[in-house]
A = this chain, B = another copy of it.
Amino acid sequence: MEGNWRGRDVISILDFTREELEELFKHAESMKKSLEEGRVEKKLKGRIIALAFFEPSTRTRLSFETAAKRLGADTIGFSSGFSTSVEKGETIADTIRMLDSYADAIVIRSKYEGSALLAAEIAGKPVINGGDGKQHHPTQAMIDLYTVRELKGRIDGLVYAIVGDLRYGRAATSFILALTRYQPESVIFVSPPQLKPRPEVLMLLEEAGIRYSYARLEDAVEAADVLYVTRIQKERFPDPAEYEKVKGSYRVTRSLLEEKAKRELKVLHPLPRVDEITHDVDDTEWQAYFTQAANGVPVRMALLSLILG
């Protein structure tokens, strides 16, 4: 079965079956254990991973870099389009072609829809989408599911409330898409009307037989086993004053959780957060976002190791 992984591109979470995700998670578990015990096998010694971050990112970039280096590989690349040839007018295609001849795999991040797919078509080496456009961030979705599985013991049968920008936020959309590979009890959306999930995403939920509904934050928190929070960018509102008026409706606070949440609720967030989860939630049992961030390393180690191993 590992044969399916070697040399594979990772463009969308929809490219993966439930069985493949489960296999990845088992590898990630064993990576996490070996990290904790300080005895990671240098499986990727001598390999070079290119990190082509046309759009800045801290967590995704540094956790890929850490994952590569923990496995004995090295990295090259850039952390923003600034100071690269793209600024001089080079196409992404030419940049990818160059990296394809230097490195053994390419992680790409870009604000443009379809960049990772384009890169995969050009490159002979495996391409991993580190987030592109408004929908795809497959490795984030893997980390999110892995964290739910780790903390709740399962992914099926749970009530998921997903909060924030469900239309333009790629982490939220990828998480919703990822759930179609499992059997959640139901999915509850909490977002301003203009930031609801796209019709094609809803259709995939329907095809997968997953019930979904819309609710206010208070009610969603009350029903949820997993609360997935994302940021709403002020710029999405035609009138910024409108944003100021509603933003409180999408902010998760300790007092809200104390009033409404199940004791076993787990709160996730792909991070960085600004103020959509207040800092007084950080040292509660509900907080799972720091665990989720830390899981970025073992999950990406598992992925790199399956693809390049």
Contacts and interface: CB of A to CB of B under 8 A. Distances in A.
A273 interface: yes
A58 B74 contact: no
Contacts of A46: 38, 40, 42, 70
A76 B84 contact: no
A290 to B, nearest CB: 6
Given A76-B62, A297-B101, A94 B48 contact: no
Q: Which of A79, A80, A83, A86 has the most CB of B within 10 A?
A: A83
Which of A70, A86, A98, A103 lies at the interface centre, i.e. has the most chain B CB atoms within 10 A of its CB? Answer: A98
A2 interface: no
A102 B300 CA distance: 12
Contacts of A57: 85
A229 to B, nearest CB: 14
Given A40-B46, A66-B48, A297-B102, A56 B87 contact: yes
A89 B272 contact: yes
A112 interface: no
B80 A83 contact: yes
A89 B232 CA distance: 13
A290 B83 contact: no
A98 B297 contact: no
Contacts of A274: 88-90
A134 B299 CA distance: 40
Given A97-B293, A273-B94, A76 B83 contact: no
Interface string A94-107: 11011101110000
A102 B101 CA distance: 29
A305 B150 CA distance: 35
Given A58-B84, A87-B56, A102 B272 contact: no
A252 to B, nearest CB: 15
A262 interface: no
Interface string A32-58: 000000101010001010100000111
Contacts of A87: 56
A281 to B, nearest CB: 12
Interface string A272-309: 11100001000000000010011011000000000000
A69 B76 contact: yes
Given A38-B46, A40-B46, A62-B77, 11 more contacts: A56-B83, A56-B84, A57-B85, A58-B78, A58-B86, A59-B85, A80-B83, A85-B271, A93-B279, A95-B272, A102-B296
Interface of A: 38, 40, 42, 46, 48, 50, 56-59, 62-63, 65-66, 69-70, 74, 76-80, 82-91, 93-95, 97-99, 101-103, 271-274, 279, 290, 293-294, 296-297
The 9 closest A-B CB pairs, nearest first, are: A101-B294, A90-B272, A85-B272, A56-B83, A89-B274, A58-B85, A66-B102, A80-B83, A69-B74
